Structure 1
Amino acid sequence: MEQNLPFNVDSLLVFSKVVECRSLSKAAQLLGMPKSTVSRKLTKLEEDLGAKLLRKNTHQISVTDLGERVYSHSMKILAEANGIRALVEGGKQEPQGGLRVAIPTFIGIDYAARVGVTFLSNFPKSQLDIRLVDYLAHPIKDGYDVVFGIGPLRDSTLIARKLFTLDCFLCASTDFLAQLPEPLTTPSQLNHLPFIDCDFLGSPHKLQLARGRRRVEISPLVRARANNFQICKQYILEGLGVGIMPRQIICSGELQQGTILPVLPDWSPESVEVHMIYPFQLSFSNLISAFYKIAQQIITENSERP
């Protein structure tokens, strides 16, 4: 078995930053090294691999097809390397210090509170400041160490680690369903019923549902809107309309009790990926790694508890 890698892992970091920035100068600035060093490491990486990864001219940098594939793999390698370093650092020193965190309101007070209590209980030398926000916060511009966000990451100065996927489903209260003139069997029926909008994807006027490969689009009549799952759950429990809830949090107890029932269970709304986002320079913070593990732990416990 070959023991020596044909390239330096540090060169992958340089290559990845150049791909994200499409600029040697910007990548060099982010990495805190001279532009000449960035260029030299890129040349060495291509020589070691025996393949062209980038096309450079005086105006721009483009990535070859092979370079795109190498970039995809390099991100996984770097994530593992970061994890190893955080693990080693975490073993040397107890996480300590202050952490300022922004969590979207729609995720909910209960989840944020359980994460905060567990984190502070496990790490007595830490301080935590959690803010529930109703906008997409930026760690650097808004003064946070960590933010929870959804959607693709467009800032190459940040790191995004996936926390969990909210698998959402259509639901309504038993009382609401009982008073309907006919059972709900097709998505088109939802166009004529009051809808509870949780507003976590920007309040689209149209809602896409999927069943296997088939997609349909509906335009429900929004009766109520809130940027918090607990508020929307209460609306649904009171029989005010059909809504969308995540399976892992908020209403697992109501599902078991039968006070909230799935609607059109074969049809699924778009799932929501939630990431923990923080500045690149905090990549090796064992305090952030500890918070990440707690945030994952609580979502798992929420999924399993009755």
Structure 2
Amino acid sequence: MQTYGQSARRRLSLLEPRVNHLLAIRAFVRVAESGSFTRAADHLGMPRSTVSKLVADLEQHLGVKLMQRTTRKAVVTPEGADYYASVMPIVLDLDETEERVRGKRLTPRGRLRVDVPSSFAKHFLIDRLPDFRRRYPELQLELGMSDRTIDIVGEGVDCAIRVGELRDTSLIARRLFTATTALAASPSYLAHKGRPLTAEDLRQGHDLVGYFFAATSRTVPIQLEKDGVKTQLAQFAILANESSGHIDMMAAGLGIGQSILPMMQPFINDGRLVTLLDDWLQPSMDYHLIYPANRHQNGRLRAFVDWIVAAAVVN
């Protein structure tokens, strides 16, 4: 018959591995980030031998090798990299929660995944990122640059920039700015084909450069309006499914296209593009920062949201 003391000791023996399991995960994360058991031990304030045993116990628990150990460094295995990507957000959220409970503000650190359209990255965001890095040097920024519409939740992305109409109402959206579009072409193209003066001129002897969405193959028409008369043009000589490349093709002299004016501004400033039909109304596009509702308390995301909202001033 089991005594109360034996029962209590048995419960403690079951509890201790659970407590050590969380500590082992923390130890593994620090070793993976620093590449060294010694540096991880210094960070955690415990002996190197303890950190090594915690990681070894975690590997035994999982039944996989997480680290390749040498005398100089520790390198994560492919399985370790996958495990790190899964547990790192949990560890960071736990750290932030603990610091908040203690009444302290934790410096944002760890990985932040942001997805942006290519032209936004190239002509707006990248030049401003050194300021973000100076403010938050402990954040590792992973910047996805394409016009592909990703599944933010499914692909584990923290936030994304979207242009135009928002369709997913389950996400939190912060409007950054509204940008106008403009019709433009290169000086070399205009010297060869002539400068259009009306929307109808575009139908007569001009090559149009279009943009289409790769996922749906939907083509975006050129839209113009004057004196209440609206014109749409969708007969393109060449199309691109990437916004930065679309502008590059216009600058290369392939034809006349309509794109977002602030993203074309560097080309206009250095004379590679000339705007056309400036007295015609052309569409405007809203830029939004979107992210899942359950991540709004994440310190890493909060830092980026506050920074980009302040930085989003279109010149």
Matches within 5 A, 1:60-99: 92-99=105-112
CA gap of 1:219–1:191, structure 2 versus 1, over 3 A, is farther
1:248 counterpart SS class: helix
Report what 1:176 is aligned to: 189
Query: Which one-letter code corresponds to 1:237 in the other structure?
Result: A
| Counterpart position of 1:126 | 139
After the TM superposition, which segments of 4 or more aligned residues of structure 1 sit over 6 Å from their partners?
A: none
Structure 1's unaligned 5+ residue stretches are 1-88
Partner secondary structure for residue 303 of structure 2? helix
The one-letter code sitting in structure 2 at the alignment partner of 1:217 is Q
Equivalent pairs, count: 210
Aligned partner of residue 266 in structure 2, secondary structure: helix
Are the aligned partners of 1:170 and 1:268 in contact in 2 as well (CA < 8 Å)?
Answer: no
The separation in 2 between residues aligned to 1:121 and 1:166, in whole angstroms, is 28
Percent identical among aligned pairs is: 23
CA–CA separation in structure 2 for the residues paired with 1:111 and 1:285: 25
Q: Give the conservation status (yes or no) of the 8 Å contact 1:248–1:299.
A: no
**Is the alpha carbon distance of 1:142 and 1:206 closer, same or farther for their aligned partners in structure 2, counting shifts above 3 Å?**
same
Deviation of 1:129 after TM superposition, in Å, equals 1.2
Residue of structure 1 equivalent to 2:253 = 239
Q: Offset at 1:132?
A: 1.8
The answer to whether residue 224 in structure 2 is matched with residue 209 in structure 1 is yes
**Aligned partner of 2:151 among 115, 128, 138:** 138
SS in 2 for 1:188: helix
Larger Rg: 2
Partners in 2 of 1:213 and 1:131 — Cα distance?
A: 40
Distance in structure 1 (CA, Å) of the matches to 2:262 and 2:130 = 19
TM-score after normalising by structure 1: 0.59
Aligned to 1:292: 305
Contact kept, 8 Å, 2:172 with 2:292, in 1: the verdict is yes
Q: Contact (CA 8 Å) 1:168, 1:268: kept in 2 or not?
A: no
Amino acid at match of 2:280: W
Question: SS where residue 215 of structure 1 aligns?
Answer: strand
Unaligned runs of 5+ in 2: 1-99
TM-score, normalised on structure 2?
0.57
Which secondary structure does the structure 1 equivalent of 2:132 belong to?
helix
- The corresponding residue for 1:228 is 243
Shift in CA distance, 162/260, structure 1 to aligned 2, threshold 3 Å: same
The corresponding residue for 2:269 is 256
Contact 1:163 1:292 in 2 (8 A): no
Task: Supply the AA of the counterpart residue of 1:219.
Answer: A
Cα drift, residue 134 of structure 1: 3.2
Contact 2:146–2:242 under 8 Å retained in 1: no
Residue 202 (structure 2) pairs with residue 190 (structure 1): yes
Could you tell me whether the CA contact under 8 Å between 1:168 and 1:270 is conserved in 2? Answer: yes
